[in-house]
Chains A and B, each alone.
Chain A
Amino acid sequence: MMGAALAHLPEYLGAHVLLSLSAIALGFAISLPLAVAVSRLPRLRALALGIASVIQTIPGLALLALFYPLLLALSAFTLRSFGFGFRALGFLPALLALTLYSILPVLRNTLTALAGTDPAVLMAARAVGMTPRQSLWKVELPLAAPFVMAGLRTASVWVIGTATLSTPVGQTSLGNYIFTGLQTENWVFVLFGCVAAAMLSLVVDRLLALAESGIATGSRPRLGAAALGLLVVLGTSLAPLVAGADRPVVVGTKSFEEQYVLGALIEERLQRAGYPSERRDGLGSTVIFRALRAGDVDVYVDYSGTLWTTQMHRSDMPGREVVLKELAQWLARRGVKDLGPLGFENAYAFAMRADRAKALGVESLTDLAAVAPRLKIGGDFEIFSRPEWQAVVRAYGLRFSMQRQYQANFMYRALVDGDVDVISAFSSDGRIAQYGLKLLADPRHALPPYDAVLLVSPRFAADEKFLGVLRPLVGALDLTAMQRANLMVDDAHDKKTPEEAAAWLTRHSTH
């Protein structure tokens, strides 16, 4: 486990440092001139501080998430108006969000320091014949420098910590350990990610503290040592990034185990065929499809029913074959290549503990509706806001005494422990068999079929060589194999990494 974590370190650390450093540098380049510009204008000063403080109160994850749709719209606009677009996922949204985050500490410290300049010194600066600009550069800013550095230190620690949250918007960072680890219950990964980010914060903080004291005491050796230390951190962490610069194929995954396994499976095939690849892990359902259309993600696995309801906005259920056919046509019109179903379904299904279902006499959703007002239901972060849920509620008139949301692992735990009575499970989930859960029948066909389908971005949609590499996966994975692979990653006792599960799948797939 530790070895697997270490193998990713150069890539994750490099990306993390590059992102944090860029955000800190950009934030500094904005906040210091801004502070100087507004320091003598009380109203603007209050306004700038107010805005920066409000930004600080937005949760980091939300701020990062907000930049994706914003940039997507902007990219669509520039593409229409000026003929060029840009990647709305990954580095850019993370950079902008973290930059905003880093502004407040430097802005506030600089303004406080400038406002607190000894009036006697200011008077002396005027009296010896300095212009306001000379007073600022020769006296006020040098005196404020230690406070500015202290602000920079705070900003750096914030940014390095918050940068771990940039994983869900598709930017590789040390957060990859944490998010992947959380989804696969790999606590070694989670801990490794936390410790790595904390160590990086600590090292940078100590070096900036050294620089701060160097500036405050005018000690050149200290400043030199701090600069040297920062260069070493930068050099060692960025070196792996400089090595390979070709734009790789981007493999996307949503935020649950099966997707990580499939991501690893796809990536392994691509790399064997000589395509350099990188991952965007843990993306939301809607984000990942938009990213594919925009070319920020090149290949990923989605589910027919998900696209049918959330993207095509269909509520009719014409049957599995028709759904697959119409979906492929709909995707083709949008430039996305649907390579076809992989061979298994991962349907939304409602599951109960077998003993509980028996005691209540529940076999189907119709039975469930009768007792639902006394029961508690648990769902993942998406289900209650998805059209499928609306459809089920409408079809069966479901009403529960309580709704709770969980990260997938904890949702199964909650069901087994009796915290909730019903959960929204996934039919390919290995834990259904492991815990002996009862899946409830859907006699009114409120839920669509959920064939796993392999989607390719417009960039490679007509690239036969590329499609040829992935095509063998179509029809190659049956439900039992997928459940086994999923369980391997979930298993608390004999946990495997997604890569190991993918390798097992490759050996045991139908082909």
Chain B
Amino acid sequence: MLTGAMESAIVLDEVSVTYPGGERPALDRVSLAVPEGRLLVLVGESGSGKTTTLHLINRLIVPDRGRVLVLGRDIAGVDGVALRRGIGFVFQSIGLFPHMSVAANIAVTPSLLGWPQDDVAARVNELLTLVGLAPEVFSRRSPASLSGGQQQRVGLARALAARPAIMLMDEPFGALDPLTRDELSAEVRAIHDRLGLTTVLVTHDMTEALLLADLIGVMRDGRLVQVGTPEALLARPADDGVRALFEHPRRRTEELARALHLAPGV
């Protein structure tokens, strides 16, 4: 097992959340540990609690019950603003600040932290290069002038700017075309490894989950049904639901192989 001996960067301990006016809890006694340096992918249907789980980790949401530990500290006593400046966050709608240049967007968190101007500028260039955008071409552009894929690269750079140890990603590739999506997800995995990050990524694309994850967590109706390596979940699904979830990409792959085989000239 990957867990066990290793230090856990993120721990959820019997956490429950009910939204105001919600009939049943959005999260129901969820416990989860993400070891340092690992990439956990949360999968499940819409409304299963994936995003709520993510928002608990940087205190965008405060739990009704249970504890959340980040880098060994219970975050109940931590100022949410300070916490968020130390955690990278990327989400599907990207949310670049439209009135700021690409460089200013990336510089936001370091500036809030009071980094010296020169360090901020150097960091912006370094990050643009890291996400594959030439600084001299892109730093002064406005977000509106970028393609969707370029915008999400800037979003990724902005999240990485203040050298966070933890990255939270909520369907980061959901709005991108398939080619860009594959390219960017491979780069995210590479960056994760290179920078030694601990990442929690939410998706409902099972193929993506299988390709990226060190660990996969399956959520349903506000509960964490099963956590484990992709191999473990494939081999020993906790119930029929989990089995069906993993059957799907396998069946699609087989169908695809058959289809391509039958196609003339291939």
Q: Name A's B-contacting residues (CB within 8 A).
A: 118-131, 134, 138-139, 142-143, 218
Task: Judge whether B195 is part of the interface by a CB distance below 8 angstroms.
Answer: no
Contact B98 A128 (CB under 8 A): no
Select B84's contact among A121, A127, A138, A139, beta carbons within 8 Å: A127
Q: Name B's A-contacting residues (CB within 8 A).
A: 58, 60, 81-82, 84-86, 89, 91, 93-99, 108-109, 112-113, 158-159
Select B95's contact among A120, A131, A134, beta carbons within 8 Å: A120
With A129-B82, A129-B84 known as contacts, the answer to whether A124 contacts B112 (CB < 8 A) is no
Select B99's contact among A123, A126, A142, beta carbons within 8 Å: A142
With A129-B109, A129-B112, A134-B112 known as contacts, the answer to whether A124 contacts B97 (CB < 8 A) is yes
Nearest CB of chain A from residue B16's CB, rounded to whole Å: 22
Nearest CB of chain B from residue A145's CB, rounded to whole Å: 8
Nearest B residue to A121 via CB reads B95
Contact B81 A143 (CB under 8 A): no
For the complex with contacts A121-B97, A128-B112, A129-B109, 19 further pairs of A-B residues with Cβ separation under 8 Å are A120-B93, A120-B95, A121-B95, A121-B96, A123-B91, A123-B95, A124-B91, A124-B94, A124-B96, A127-B58, A127-B84, A128-B85, A128-B89, A129-B85, A129-B86, A134-B112, A138-B97, A139-B97, A142-B99
Select B60's contact among A118, A127, A142, A218, beta carbons within 8 Å: A127
Residue among A123, A134, A143, A218 having the largest count of chain B Cβ atoms under 10 Å: A123
Select B89's contact among A118, A119, A127, beta carbons within 8 Å: A127
Report how far A119 CA is from B60 CA in the complex, Å.
14
Contact A128 B158 (CB under 8 A): yes
Nearest B residue to A129 via CB reads B85
Select B112's contact among A121, A122, A130, A218, beta carbons within 8 Å: A130
Task: Report chain B residues within 8 Å CB of A121.
Answer: 95-98
Contact A129 B60 (CB under 8 A): no
Nearest B residue to A119 via CB reads B93
Nearest CB of chain A from residue B13's CB, rounded to whole Å: 23
Nearest A residue to B155 via CB reads A124
Report how far A125 CA is from B99 CA in the complex, Å.
13
Task: Report chain A residues within 8 Å CB of B113.
Answer: 129
Residue among B60, B84, B99 having the largest count of chain A Cβ atoms under 10 Å: B99
With A142-B99, A143-B99, A218-B99 known as contacts, the answer to whether A128 contacts B94 (CB < 8 A) is no
Select A124's contact among B82, B85, B86, B95, beta carbons within 8 Å: B95
Nearest B residue to A127 via CB reads B89
Task: Report chain B residues within 8 Å CB of A130.
Answer: 81, 108, 112
Nearest CB of chain A from residue B56's CB, rounded to whole Å: 13
Contact B96 A128 (CB under 8 A): no
Select A120's contact among B60, B94, B99, B108, beta carbons within 8 Å: B94
Report how far A123 CA is from B159 CA in the complex, Å.
13
Task: Report chain B residues within 8 Å CB of A129.
Answer: 81-82, 84-86, 109, 112-113
Task: Report chain A residues within 8 Å CB of B98.
Answer: 118, 121, 143
Contact A131 B60 (CB under 8 A): no
Nearest CB of chain A from residue B26's CB, rounded to whole Å: 17
Nearest B residue to A216 via CB reads B99
Task: Report chain B residues within 8 Å CB of A131.
Answer: 81
Report how far A94 CA is from B58 CA in the complex, Å.
54
Contact B81 A118 (CB under 8 A): no
Residue among A124, A129, A143 having the largest count of chain B Cβ atoms under 10 Å: A129
Nearest CB of chain B from residue A426's CB, rounded to whole Å: 64
Task: Report chain A residues within 8 Å CB of B86.
Answer: 129
Task: Report chain A residues within 8 Å CB of B58.
Answer: 127
Nearest B residue to A146 via CB reads B99
Report how far A143 CA is from B100 CA in the complex, Å.
10
Contact A128 B109 (CB under 8 A): yes
Contact B84 A126 (CB under 8 A): yes
Nearest B residue to A145 via CB reads B99
Contact B95 A118 (CB under 8 A): yes
Nearest CB of chain A from residue B116's CB, rounded to whole Å: 18
Contact A128 B84 (CB under 8 A): yes
Report how far A139 CA is from B82 CA in the complex, Å.
18
Nearest CB of chain B from residue A264's CB, rounded to whole Å: 57
Task: Report chain B residues within 8 Å CB of A119.
Answer: 93
Nearest B residue to A134 via CB reads B112
Q: What are 16 A-to-B residue pairs whose CB atoms are below 8 Å?
A: A118-B95, A121-B95, A121-B98, A122-B95, A123-B93, A123-B95, A124-B89, A124-B94, A124-B97, A125-B95, A126-B84, A127-B89, A129-B84, A129-B109, A143-B98, A218-B99
Report how far A118 CA is from B91 CA in the complex, Å.
14
Contact A126 B60 (CB under 8 A): yes
Report how far A142 CA is from B99 CA in the complex, Å.
7
Residue among A121, A134, A142 having the largest count of chain B Cβ atoms under 10 Å: A121
Report how far A123 CA is from B95 CA in the complex, Å.
7
Nearest CB of chain B from residue A165's CB, rounded to whole Å: 39
Report how far A130 CA is from B93 CA in the complex, Å.
18
Nearest CB of chain A from residue B98's CB, rounded to whole Å: 7
Nearest CB of chain B from residue A149's CB, rounded to whole Å: 14
Residue among A126, A134, A218 having the largest count of chain B Cβ atoms under 10 Å: A126
Task: Report chain B residues within 8 Å CB of A218.
Answer: 99
Report how far A72 CA is from B85 CA in the complex, Å.
57
| Across the A-B interface, the 3 shortest Cβ-Cβ residue pairs | A124-B95, A129-B85, A120-B93
Report how far A139 CA is from B93 CA in the complex, Å.
17
Task: Report chain B residues within 8 Å CB of A128.
Answer: 84-85, 89, 108-109, 112, 158-159
Report how far A89 CA is from B93 CA in the complex, Å.
57
Report how far A128 CA is from B157 CA in the complex, Å.
12
Nearest CB of chain A from residue B27's CB, rounded to whole Å: 19
Report how far A262 CA is from B98 CA in the complex, Å.
64
Report how far A134 CA is from B99 CA in the complex, Å.
15
Report how far A174 CA is from B226 CA in the complex, Å.
79
Report how far A129 CA is from B112 CA in the complex, Å.
8
Nearest A residue to B89 via CB reads A127
Nearest CB of chain A from residue B217's CB, rounded to whole Å: 21
Nearest CB of chain B from residue A32's CB, rounded to whole Å: 18
Nearest B residue to A142 via CB reads B99
Task: Report chain B residues within 8 Å CB of A139.
Answer: 97, 99
Task: Report chain B residues within 8 Å CB of A126.
Answer: 60, 84
Report how far A128 CA is from B96 CA in the complex, Å.
11
Nearest B residue to A126 via CB reads B60
Nearest B residue to A132 via CB reads B81
Report how far A498 CA is from B159 CA in the complex, Å.
75
Residue among B60, B95, B97 having the largest count of chain A Cβ atoms under 10 Å: B95
Nearest CB of chain B from residue A17's CB, rounded to whole Å: 32
Nearest CB of chain A from residue B71's CB, rounded to whole Å: 16
Task: Report chain B residues within 8 Å CB of A123.
Answer: 60, 91, 93, 95
Residue among A121, A125, A127 having the largest count of chain B Cβ atoms under 10 Å: A127
Nearest A residue to B59 via CB reads A126
Report how far A127 CA is from B89 CA in the complex, Å.
6
Residue among B91, B97, B159 having the largest count of chain A Cβ atoms under 10 Å: B97
